[in-house]
Amino acid sequence: MSTILFRSTRRKCSSLIKIVFTIMNVLIEFLVVFKGYLVEVLPFLFMGFLLSGLIHEFIPTRLVEKHLGGKGIKPIICSTLNK
């Protein structure tokens, strides 16, 4: 009787171990893909932060508000299309 109980417990543990390893493999795969994505995006993110900091520091707020501030669709279109 005890050997039958041990075998069934062993099967349950074996399937539990497979589930745990599957979850770990999925997590590792996610982290590897996330790291690759982060490496690709980080330079552009850095350039965006640098550019926005330079704009904030050297361009007067009133000038930005004059051209991009206001209500309606016009400021949205201007801010999207201005180069």
For 2-42, how does the pLDDT look when each residue is reduced to its tens digit (9 = 90+)?
Answer: 455 455 555 666 788 888 889 999 999 999 999 999 999 99
- How long, in residues, is the chain? 83
**Which tokens sit at 65?**
């508000």
Which tens digits make up the pLDDT trace of 31-55?
999 999 999 999 999 999 999 999 8
Report, as an integer, the average pLDDT of 57-72: 82
| Pair 68, 75: CB distance under 8 Å | yes
* Alpha-carbon gap, residue 27 to 64, rounded angstroms: 45
pTM of the model: 0.52
